Amino acid sequence: MQINNISNLNIKGLSINKLINPNRMKQYKYMQEACYKMGGMAGLSSSELIDLTKNADVNQFDFLRTMVNKFHKQNFRTMEDDSQHILNIYSIVNKPSALHFDIVKRTKDSFGSLEKIFSLAQDEKSLEFVQNLQYDILKNKQNQSKIIIDLLSSNYRELYINKPERYSSYLKLHADEKDVVKNLDSLLDSGKYSRFKSDAQLAIRKLMKQKRIETAMAGKTSTLEKLYTEERANFLSNIIKSFIPVKTEPKENTKVIVVDMYGTLNKKNAGLRQSIISRFKTNKLQDKTNELKEMQILFNKIDTNPEVEKFVKKAINKDLKVDSIAELNEVIDNVPLKKANVFFNNAKRIIELSSGEERKTALVKELENPFFTPRVKKQNLTRMFMSNQTSDNIFTKFTKIIENKYNQFIYSRMAA
C-alpha cells in the first residue's frame, strides 16, 4: 500500500504528525494513564474517556480532570450524583476558560445542576454573572445553583445579567426562600420592585448584626429602613459607638433623638456632623441623653442658619477649646455670629480665656479687640496656658493688629 500523504494517515484518531512528535507522544501517554485513573475515580469507562479526549488539548483535559477530582471528593463525602453529567459538561464546554474552572470549583451541589448552568451560560458575560453570584451575592447559600438556574431561565434573564447590582440586595435578603426568583419576576411584572427598599433592608439588617447597635435601636428597624441612606447608616454607627453606653438599651426619648438626627442628615451636612461627633466623643459610660439633646439642638441651628454652620466649622478646624456641645451652644446663643465669623480669632481668645457673665459681655463688646485679657481667670486654665495666651512678642502683636484692621475693613463693607 502506497501512502501519498503521510500526514493524513490517522491511527486511532491520532495523526502520524502527532505520533512522530516525541512531546506529543509523551503527553498522549500521560493522558491515557490519567484517563484510567479518572475512570476509576468517577465510575466512568476508561476507554470512553480515552476516545473522548483523543483530540483534546491540555486545557480541555485539565478541565475534565478538575471535574473528576471534584466529583470524587463530593461522592467520597456521600453526595449522590451521576457521573454522566461530567461527560455532558465536557461536550457542552468546547473551550474552557478560567471562568469555567472557577465556577466548577465554587459549585457546592450536584453536577446535574452544574450541567444546567453551563448549558444556559455559554458566553463570557453570562459566565461572569454566574461567577459573581457564587462569589458574592449567593455565597454560602444552600440553594445557590437553583437560584442561578432560575435567573438564567427567567424572562428577565438579560436584565439580571446586564444590571445585577439592581437585584443583588433582594437576592441576598431572600436567598433562603424557595421561590425567590419567581417572586422577583412577579414584582417586575407588576412594576412593584423597589431597589431602594431592598438596599435599605439589607443595609439595616447588616447594621443590626452589631450587638451594640441592635440594643441601642431596638424597635426602630422599620423607621431606619424607610429613612435609609448610606451616609445616615455611617452616622448612626458612629453616634451609637460614641454616645450610647455599651450593653444598655437607651430610653425611648433618647432613641427618638437619634432617629431624628439620622433622618435629617444629608450629603450637605453629613461631613460636619461626623466632625462634631469625633470632636466631642468621650469614653465615659454614663447616660448621655443630655449631650444628645444638645447635639440635636446644634444640628438644627446649623441646618437653619448659615452663620452657625460657618462658626462651627471654624470652631472644629481651629480647635476651639470648649468642653461640651452644651458650652458651644451657649457661645452660639450669646455671640453676634456674623461679626464673630469675621473676628473669629478674637472670639476664640475670649471663649478660651473667660467664662460666665464676663464671657457673655466680652463676646459682644470685645470682638474687635485682638488682645482681650480677662479680669477673672478661668478655673481650668493653667498659669502657663494663660501666659501663652496673654503674652505676645512684638511681631505677633503687629501681625494681630494688621489682621484686625483687615477684618474691620471686611466687616464694615458687610455692614454697608
Residue 85 lies inside a defined structural domain of this protein: no
Q: What share of the chain is helix, strand, coil (3-state, %, to 5)?
A: 70, 0, 30
Predicted model pTM = 0.75
What is the Cα–Cα distance from 277 to 325, expressed in whole angstroms? 10
Structural domain containing residue 66: 13-77
Last residue of a domain, one of 130, 162, 192: 192
Residues 60 and 147 in one domain: no
CB-facing half-sphere around the CA of 115: CA atoms within 13 A? 15
Residue 295 lies inside a defined structural domain of this protein: yes
Last residue of a domain, one of 148, 171, 192: 192
CB 149 within 8 A of CB 130: no
Residue 340 lies inside a defined structural domain of this protein: yes
Residues 173 and 225 in one domain: no
Residues 279 and 367 in one domain: no
Mean of the per-residue pLDDT values of the chain = 84
Residues 212 and 188 in one domain: no
pLDDT value of residue 3: 36
pLDDT value of residue 339: 94
C-alpha pair distances (Å), 394 with each of 52, 230, 264, 405: 95, 52, 48, 17
How does residue 377 score in pLDDT terms, banded at 50, 70 and 90?
low
Residues 199 and 293 in one domain: yes
Residues 178 and 205 in one domain: no
Q: Is the pLDDT of residue 19 over 90?
A: no
Residues 171 and 232 in one domain: no
Q: Which residues pair with 11 in a beta bridge?
A: 14
Last residue of a domain, one of 192, 214, 230: 192
pLDDT value of residue 33: 63
The average pLDDT across 180-194 equals: 97
Residues 198 and 299 in one domain: yes
Whole-number CA gyration radius for the chain:
36
Residue 2 lies inside a defined structural domain of this protein: no
Residue 216 lies inside a defined structural domain of this protein: yes
The average pLDDT across 287-301 equals: 93
- pLDDT tens-place string over residues 318-333: 999 999 999 999 999 9
- pLDDT tens-place string over residues 39-62: 666 666 677 777 777 777 888 878
Residue 235 lies inside a defined structural domain of this protein: yes
Which residue is listed with cell 459549585? Answer: 107
Residues 173 and 208 in one domain: no
- pLDDT tens-place string over residues 81-92: 677 888 889 889
Q: Where are the alpha helices (DSSP H) in 175-305?
A: 180-190, 195-208, 211-216, 221-226, 230-243, 252-264, 267-280, 289-304
Residues 368 and 404 in one domain: yes
Count up the domains in the chain and report the number.
Answer: 4
CB 358 within 8 A of CB 374: yes
Residue 83 or residue 154, greater confidence: 154
What is the Cα–Cα distance from 274 to 227, expressed in whole angstroms? 18
Q: Is the pLDDT of residue 95 over 70?
A: yes
Residue 317 lies inside a defined structural domain of this protein: no
Helix (H, G, I), strand (E, B), or coil: what is residue 3? coil
The average pLDDT across 158-162 equals: 97
Residue 5 lies inside a defined structural domain of this protein: no
Q: Is the pLDDT of residue 32 over 70?
A: no
Residues 249 and 273 in one domain: yes
Residues 73 and 111 in one domain: no
